[in-house]
Structure 1
């Protein structure tokens, strides 16, 4: 099958299936990143911090170029006050992640087990580390699903959401998921977890993305008026993760300049993908 045929087939299928494939793609790159544990027992801290900064940059750029800007344009197309859905959705997304952060047991990379967040639990350190990454993968999957749903809404020309833009978002999130998979599996291996379990936990952190992508697409297709709010909701959730988790973790060990440059590169690549493909 030629590329043009694959492209036409992909455009013709349901947005729910498009979202599923997008989520599976990002999960697949998470798994590839986790697979590096089969070749490396440790990872240089500067490289890890640059990876975390890169992921932060991608998410910041995606939040504006792929989500907030289309949300504002779509509100205008629907005759709604331009800023209203963006502000309400953005803040609601942040509040949602704050609630999840407060109640879901998890542990951020680089922190001792006694600094785990959420409700108290006796779960193992590896489980808590995976849950931390899983928590911030939820808004990424939702963003993919919501954008594919928005592209199929019938007002994409006026609202700024296109299938190409959704594909660009999936590619950008997939790229930053590769180092995230590594950031989970290799530190676990360094702490004495077996190679197989380290890989398993690393890839497991990304499985939530195809699930949340399908949920996001199905929700906006069923209730189209929520589209601009849903786009901004995903953006708010992603920015919460960046500010609360990725940036602090990337600079925890003092590699501020390297982490910052990683953020700049990640932002630039995601912006390039969205503008060039979207």
Structure 2
């Protein structure tokens, strides 16, 4: 197969394979040789600029040690990657769609995100993540499938690690509404630790900006819910998404769509407390709860 035009499924597949290869400890040369390709072809695949046949991809992910579930997800993603690109936003209908945002976060050089009524995923404490997944268990997925709850907790925490303990220089800007402090998740102890956790992360990460948006602020353009923008410098166009709790995720990479999301995020920044005001606000919340 020839050089492929980068599309979101191809980028998702490339990043997933990159992470899988790194975790496996297998060399690029060994992985390429196993499927009968040269090193350069495998690099293009990891960059989202090449595809493989179903049989080649299945052999590769097996060689890299993918478990049964991940292997099934990557083979399905490979089918999407082989499709011709179109002008429509990409709706991720494949298995394990909730994993894909992690690939964009890992690739991005800038992450701008807004959440309404909940602390952003990238600054959620382990206890808050556990409590969120526990309350979702038996509602957003089958109660009998406890492994999914465990997987989602692990993936959420791994997303944070790949963003904040990364070789790439990332700028992260997170906004969230102040009702997140009142919406108790788990217990008051979990909530107190969550506020303290955000303060610790802000102090430890110089390239992280966190701002609280007052729910009483007038003319909030995103009363419906959250939005995220992933930037990749000059390499790729900006990708936007509107996070959902249940159902397929839709990603936007066409300029008219991402311009709308850019304008909304800019307006939210205007409505938000400044970063220093946000820190003071969180410290007062912490003191009040002690």
Q: TM-score, normalised by structure 2?
A: 0.22
| Higher-strand-fraction structure | 2
Q: TM-score, normalised by structure 1?
A: 0.23
Higher gyration radius (CA): 2
The structure, 1 or 2, with the larger RCO (C-alpha pairs under 8 Å, 6+ apart) is: 1
| Higher-helix-fraction structure | 1
